[in-house]
Amino acid sequence: MSVIAGRPVAGDGEEFRAVDPATGTALEPAYRALSAPRIEEAVTAAATAFEVYRDTTPQQRAAFLRTIADNLDARRDALVERALVETGLPEARLTGEVGRTSGQLRLMADEVELGEHQGVRIDHAQPDRSPAPAPDLRLRSIPIGPVVVFGASNFPFAFSTAGGDTAAALAAGCPVIVKAHNAHPGTAELAAGAIADAVNSCGLPPGTFSLLYGVGNEIGEHLVAHPDVRGVGFTGSRAGGLALLRIAQARPTPIPVYAEMSSINPVIVLPGRAKAVDEVAQGYLGSLTLGSGQFCTNPGLLFVPEEAAELRTAIGAAVGETRGQTMLTEPISDAYRDGVARLDSIDVLGRGAEGDGPNAPAPVVAAVTTAQLRDTPGLADEVFGAASLVVSYRDLEDVIDTLDLLEGQLTVSVHVEPSDHEALRTLLPTLEDLAGRIIVNAWPTGVEVTHAMVHGGPFPATSDGRSTSVGTLAITRFQRPVSYQGLPEDLLPQAIRDENPYGLPRRVDGTLER
């Protein structure tokens, strides 16, 4: 059932069920979409809750985030059990993902207490300044208001109901309305329960969190166009993200949309490293086939020197030894098969075996040249799943020319030996322009939840490359700065008072204080 401001709501719209992708079996119970009046109710409750939640102290907000984390951990077995049948992902992965998700919430709680995100700056009045006195000015970043988060298919926990965008928005002081992903409604329901219970036990206004079910695009369009919604977090397809972005831009008052959409995460093996044939081939296949390749950081392109015939052969052989794993949904597995069909017209380097069940297509790696990649429209488009291109390059200039033609990426990786360092130095500016994260001698799958992480990148990797969806910096995406001039001390928000009751790091009269 949907959760609207703490109450379970059955819904009165279209009925749908999750499907076990391993068997194609529809799962009980049925879920029902919400009608427009119910969606209105959730948004109104969020707007009302915002008036209270925006003024919670760092300690209150941190306690709330930690309570959600505790609730998730306490319900881990139930969460994993349901996610297993709704996603087809392996148990160990799902168990780990719950831990990642609760850890992410706890890290965000620490961040709220640290308080650097409030961006406090105080310039005291200078009544004697000549020719004119300077006023007292104080700056802080405030929460933007209710945020809508669209759960992702491929991370039922870490990028869904209680995932990164929810954690960041709640940490910033924004109520959250989650549109559940229809592939895992039961998992969403359980995670929503963990949040709603925390709202309740922490004494926060019920509208601080809602979970809504809907079928088709209507509910998303309704939410993103709603005047009381002030920001959007999305992880999913390019078409979906762009549709939401366009709605947000066309509003009388546009709002920020953080849509993580599309990335093929190029990996460049420089000549010195290309000789480590087995290590590179195994590392590549491991990253490519992890979780059926259903990662936004999945390596979709591997650049290798054209003379590295042995490496290509080893890759071809390694792909041959792989086996398909169940993908998240039938539409995703169908789209993968369609995408792979495009590769059949080029030189297929290797193909794994089909896995068990209806939705476990075989991993595929094809071989192309940089010229083919540049000249074939659509060849560099993302195929979501364990499909990738090995791209043979002539020299460093050829790599740079080809990277320059790619769209923005979440990550770009380079594999080097010390003999490749000068080439990497030459590459660096191109890599910085291309991606949000530059990786050396590691594979792109695996996104640390920490302070220095950027999980973002230039369009269309994300709709807004000035932000990250993972790591503590994510909290800033749901804020905006406000300056307070000449406020009497008794009316100043606590965060910007001289006595600094929250112990925030700040800049006072130009000097950083910690």
Segment contacting a copy of itself (CB under 8 A): 61-69, 162-170, 298-306, 452-460?
A: 452-460
CA–CA separation, 224 vs 56, rounded Å? 25
- Maximum C-alpha span of the chain: 80
- Minimum distance from CB of 106 to a copy of itself (Å)? 13
Across the strands, what pairs with 365?
A: 350, 388
Q: Which is nearer to a copy of itself, 134 or 341 (CB)?
A: 134
| Number of residues near a copy of itself (by CB under 8 A) | 78
Q: Give just the sign of the alpha carbon dihedral 419, 414, 93, 289.
A: negative
- Please state the separation of Cα 206 from the chain's center in Å: 26
CA distances (Å), origin 272, targets 276, 307, 312, 417, 504: 8, 12, 15, 5, 48
Segment contacting a copy of itself (CB under 8 A): 17-25, 299-307, 384-392, 454-462?
A: 454-462
Interface residue with a copy of itself among 310, 375, 451, 503 (CB under 8 A) is 451
Segment contacting a copy of itself (CB under 8 A): 17-25, 307-315, 361-369, 446-454?
A: 446-454
Interface residue with a copy of itself among 286, 405, 485, 498 (CB under 8 A) is 485
CA–CA separation, 437 vs 268, rounded Å? 14
User: What stretches of 276-377 adopt beta strand conformation (E)?
Assistant: 301-305, 347-351, 364-369
Decide if 105 contacts 72 (C-beta within 8 A). yes
Q: Which is nearer to a copy of itself, 323 or 466 (CB)?
A: 466
Segment contacting a copy of itself (CB under 8 A): 5-13, 206-214, 317-325, 434-442?
A: 434-442
Interface residue with a copy of itself among 456, 469, 475, 502 (CB under 8 A) is 456
- Minimum distance from CB of 457 to a copy of itself (Å)? 8
**424 interacts with a copy of itself by CB under 8 A:** yes
- Residue of 113, 260, 330, 407 marked catalytic: 260
**137 interacts with a copy of itself by CB under 8 A:** yes
In the residue annotation, 260 being an active-site residue is answered as: yes
Site for a copy of itself in 112-131 (CB under 8 A): 114, 116, 119, 121-123
Q: Who contacts 468 (Cβ-Cβ below 8 Å, separation ≥6)?
A: 436, 453, 454, 455, 456, 474, 477
Site for a copy of itself in 234-253 (CB under 8 A): 249, 253
Decide if 399 contacts 303 (C-beta within 8 A). yes
**82 interacts with a copy of itself by CB under 8 A:** no
Segment contacting a copy of itself (CB under 8 A): 74-82, 285-293, 315-323, 488-496?
A: 488-496
Interface residue with a copy of itself among 24, 310, 440, 503 (CB under 8 A) is 440
- Minimum distance from CB of 271 to a copy of itself (Å)? 17
- Minimum distance from CB of 416 to a copy of itself (Å)? 8
CA–CA separation, 102 vs 85, rounded Å? 21
Site for a copy of itself in 26-65 (CB under 8 A): 51, 54-55
Decide if 231 contacts 147 (C-beta within 8 A). yes
Q: Which is nearer to a copy of itself, 37 or 131 (CB)?
A: 131
- Minimum distance from CB of 251 to a copy of itself (Å)? 9
Q: Which is nearer to a copy of itself, 268 or 332 (CB)?
A: 268
- Minimum distance from CB of 444 to a copy of itself (Å)? 9
> DSSP string covering 104-163, please?
HHHHHHHHHHH-GGG-EEEE--BTT-SSSPBPPEEEEEEE-S-EEEEPPSS-TTTTSTTS
**473 interacts with a copy of itself by CB under 8 A:** yes
Parallel, antiparallel or unpaired: strands 301-305 and 2-4: unpaired
Site for a copy of itself in 383-422 (CB under 8 A): 407-408, 416, 418, 421
**178 interacts with a copy of itself by CB under 8 A:** no
> Which helix (H) or strand (E) segment is 234 a member of?
strand 231-235
Q: Count Cβ atoms within 10 A of the Cβ of residue 514 and give its class: 0-12 exposed, 13-18 middle, 19 or more buried.
A: exposed
**458 interacts with a copy of itself by CB under 8 A:** yes
3-state secondary structure of 507: strand
> Which helix (H) or strand (E) segment is 251 a member of?
none
- Minimum distance from CB of 423 to a copy of itself (Å)? 10
Site for a copy of itself in 261-320 (CB under 8 A): none
3-state secondary structure of 499: coil
**378 interacts with a copy of itself by CB under 8 A:** no
Decide if 323 contacts 292 (C-beta within 8 A). no
- Residue of 111, 189, 296, 382 marked catalytic: 296
Interface residue with a copy of itself among 6, 58, 214, 436 (CB under 8 A) is 436
Decide if 151 contacts 190 (C-beta within 8 A). no
CA–CA separation, 285 vs 17, rounded Å? 34
Interface residue with a copy of itself among 30, 239, 466, 498 (CB under 8 A) is 466
Work out the angle between the directed axes of helices 218-225 and 238-250 (0-180°, nearest 10). Answer: 40
Residues assigned a catalytic role: 260, 296
